[in-house]
Amino acid sequence: MSNTTPTHAPGAIRKKVTAPGVRARKGREPLTMLTAYDFPGGKLADQAGVDVILVGDSVANVVLGYETTNQVALDDMIHHTAAVARARPRALLVADMPWMTFHVSPQETLRNAARLVREGGAEAVKLEGGKSRVEMIRKLVTAEIPVMGHIGLTPQSVHAAGGYKVQGRRLEDARRMIDDALALEEAGVFALVLEGVPAPLAQAITRRLSIPTIGIGAGPDTDGQVLVMHDMLGLNFGHYPKFVRRYADLSREAVAAIDQWIRDVHRGGFPSEEESYHMIDAAALELIEEPAGTDRAIGH
């Protein structure tokens, strides 16, 4: 396949995406990664032709209604990952390791990641953080679990950082982030998410690494882009960061559709003849007809 052939071309024979395949896309056709949290989400993302489906811990905010991603548990992530896995996506299926599942020890990190793979069907895991995660990442890579890194604005750090803030705007912070990126590459991650990073810094990191970077709020010069599905489809009932482009307003369409159904029910227009089941044996109706004089009409 040439570098410019879109992998999502209708009718194209599309090969299963793997972690080494994503790794090999460095400097080639830009990668697309989208979140999904359930079976229909997985089907939609895959039918559209994304390269990577991320079962992000953003499920906490956009699906489960929690305030922060730190409130989602490993069992929740396994549950949602398994639902997406049942869509049998062509896309690589990556599951986020939730907060505190990769902090205590390399052994515990491995046990938790293995549950995402064995019980959830994940084909790779993603975890947030820089140099301090190197030991954990090495443990997973040695056990042949592909790992995606995630630095910059890491939502699990919300309390330590004092909010959700763009990272790396000052020289010292930018240097530290470049060091983190290099350390993660050295530890063996196959791709690196850069979130909430000034565009020139994301470009500089992308140029220095031999693995692909996937940006979100990190400008156009990364090797790929990732968005939260509910943000891009207009299904998020919370905050929309400035980097989100809404490609649809499905909340509005959904409310309008439900409203129309309510009106149809109220005016007796739903269900129609075609939407109702009929008796095969019309004579059987006599058996269930009400005796004359009884008044048991629906609504009485």
Contact residues for ligand KIV, defined by CB under 6 A: 35, 54, 56-58, 96, 150, 193, 195, 216, 226, 228
DSSP assignments along 72-130, one per residue: --HHHHHHHHHHHHTT--SSEEEEEPPTTSSSS-HHHHHHHHHHHHHTT--SEEEEEBS
Q: Are 209 and 196 in contact (CB under 8 A)?
A: no
| Residue in the structure block whose two tokens are 């763009």 | 166
Least CB distance to ligand KIV at residue 60 (A): 8
Tokens matching residue 12: 């194209």
Catalytic pick from 195, 274, 286, 290?
195
CB-nearer residue toward ligand KIV: 72 or 174: 72
CB-nearer residue toward ligand KIV: 238 or 269: 238
Tokens matching residue 100: 């505190």
Helices (H) and strands (E) in the chain, counts: 12, 8
CB-nearer residue toward ligand KIV: 92 or 216: 216
CB-nearer residue toward ligand KIV: 75 or 264: 75
Least CB distance to ligand KIV at residue 164 (A): 11
CB-nearer residue toward ligand KIV: 76 or 96: 96
CB-nearer residue toward ligand KIV: 147 or 216: 216
Least CB distance to ligand KIV at residue 300 (A): 52
| Four-residue CA torsion sign, 261, 262, 264, 268 | positive
Distance of alpha carbon 42 from the chain centroid = 9
Q: Are 53 and 45 in contact (CB under 8 A)?
A: yes
Q: Which of 53, 49, 52 lies closest to 11 in space, CA to CA?
A: 49
Alpha helices in the chain (DSSP H): 19-23, 39-48, 59-62, 74-85, 106-118, 134-142, 158-161, 171-187, 199-208, 229-232, 250-266, 285-288
Least CB distance to ligand KIV at residue 31 (A): 12
Instruction: Respond yes or no: is residue 29 known to be catalytic.
Output: no
Least CB distance to ligand KIV at residue 126 (A): 7
Q: Which of 155, 157, 202, 167 lies closest to 181 in space, CA to CA?
A: 202
Least CB distance to ligand KIV at residue 227 (A): 8
Residue nearest to ligand KIV (CB): 56
Residues acting as catalytic residues: 195
